[in-house]
Amino acid sequence: MAFFIRISSLVEKLCTHYGEKICEYKEQSFYAFPEIVTLSNPKVEAHLRLLGFGYRAKFIQKSAEEILSKGGLAWFKNLQELSYKDAHAELMSLTGIGPKVF
């Protein structure tokens, strides 16, 4: 359970620092998930490390860069057209994505 709390906390940090503010409710601000182009910036890795992402920082920045080079959102949409096996292989081609993640 602690693992999920940790990951949720990291996702919230990612959104807060890199996502667009979408609303405020009961004095709390909420942010959208960041755009892939924002996360692909080479400076993101160092900042994420400062925020406590550890080894994940490199994988986030590098995967964002790779997703953009593969076509961005169009690449993701294309995954829907592939078989499970082929989509799985495509996702595993990203830095930091391996069988343990699935």
20-31 pLDDT, tens digit each: 999 999 999 999
Q: Are 46 and 17 in contact (CB under 8 A)?
A: no
Residue 68 lies in a domain: yes
The single residue listed with the structure tokens 């993101």 is 44
Pairing mode of beta strands 28-31, 21-25: antiparallel
pLDDT of residue 1: 67
Q: How confident is the model at residue 98 (pLDDT cuts 50, 70, 90)?
A: confident
- Comparison of pLDDT for 2 and 65, the residue scoring more: 65
Q: Please state, in angstroms and rounded to a whole number, the distance separating the CA atoms of residues 57 and 65.
A: 13
Residue 88 lies in a domain: yes
The single residue listed with the structure tokens 């799985």 is 88
Q: Does residue 102 have a pLDDT over 60?
A: no
Q: Does residue 89 have a pLDDT over 90?
A: yes
Residue 15 lies in a domain: yes
Residue 55 lies in a domain: yes
Residue 98 lies in a domain: no
Nearest CA-CA partner of 68 in 89, 94, 44, 101: 94
pLDDT of residue 3: 66
What integer best gives the mean pLDDT of the chain? 93
Report how many domains make up the chain.
Answer: 1
**In a 3-state reduction of DSSP, which class is residue 94?**
coil
pLDDT tens sequence across 37-77: 999 999 999 999 999 999 999 999 999 999 999 999 999 99
Residue 23 lies in a domain: yes
Show the DSSP H helices in the chain as ranges: 2-18, 36-39, 43-50, 56-70, 73-79, 84-92
Residue 49 lies in a domain: yes
Residue 20 lies in a domain: yes
Residues annotated as part of the active site: 100
Whichever domain contains 49, its CATH number is: 1.10.340.30
Instruction: Give the residue numbers spanning the domain of 27.
Output: 2-92
